[in-house]
Structure 1
């Protein structure tokens, strides 16, 4: 493992998904899934998310579209919150999902709208 890339990835991962969530994921890692946590942190977050070619906001938009296409609601929930942390507005998230409705299918987009609304409701409760 490249310790420097892991640490860079940990920093970006915390800034996007929230330190509490990331730290809990790493602390709760088992012998079975620890290698996956390390892989994701080092390569996904440390190698790719730290590249200068795209902003975090753009990366979040792409992730929302791709995760919608893959129909991964648990990951989508995390990345909706991450997208908000990266500066996307609800209207921008809505536009991403409308775009995915055309290219990925209406059922996938409907599920993403539903999942995003759950996140928005959670955030509203946290702020009140």
Structure 2
């Protein structure tokens, strides 16, 4: 593991997803899942999320669309919070999800709207 990239990724991951969520994920990792947490933190958050060509807000938009397409509601909820943390407004999230209705299908978009409403309610947005 590249410790420097891991630390950089850990800082970004906490900034986007929130310290409590990330710390809970790392604490709950066991011998089986620890390697996956390290990979995600180093590679996804340390390397890709920190590339300068896209802002974190742009990356959040992309993630919301992809997670809708893949019907990954748990991750959509996590990245919905991250999108708010990265400066996306409710209206911007709505527009991303409306766009997914066209390209991913209405059922997928409806589920994503449901998840987004849960996030807004939890965050009081």
Return the TM-score normalized by structure 1: 0.96
2:43 paired with 1:43: yes
* Cα deviation code 1:59-109 (max 9, x no counterpart): 000000000000000000000000000000000000000000000100000
2:108 paired with 1:105: no
Consecutive unaligned residues in structure 2, runs of 5 or more: none
Equivalent residue runs for 1:23-62 within 5 Å? 23-62=23-62
Correspondence for 1:82: 82
User: Cα distance, 1:41 vs. partner?
Assistant: 0.2
Consecutive unaligned residues in structure 1, runs of 5 or more: none
Instruction: State the distance in 1 between where 2:33 and 2:69 align.
Output: 25
Correspondence for 1:114: 114
Number of equivalent positions: 125
Instruction: State the distance in 2 between where 1:66 and 1:28 align.
Output: 26
Correspondence for 1:12: 12
Instruction: State the distance in 2 between where 1:24 and 1:7 align.
Output: 17
Correspondence for 1:96: 96
Aligned CA RMSD, in angstroms, stands at: 0.8
Return the TM-score normalized by structure 2: 0.98
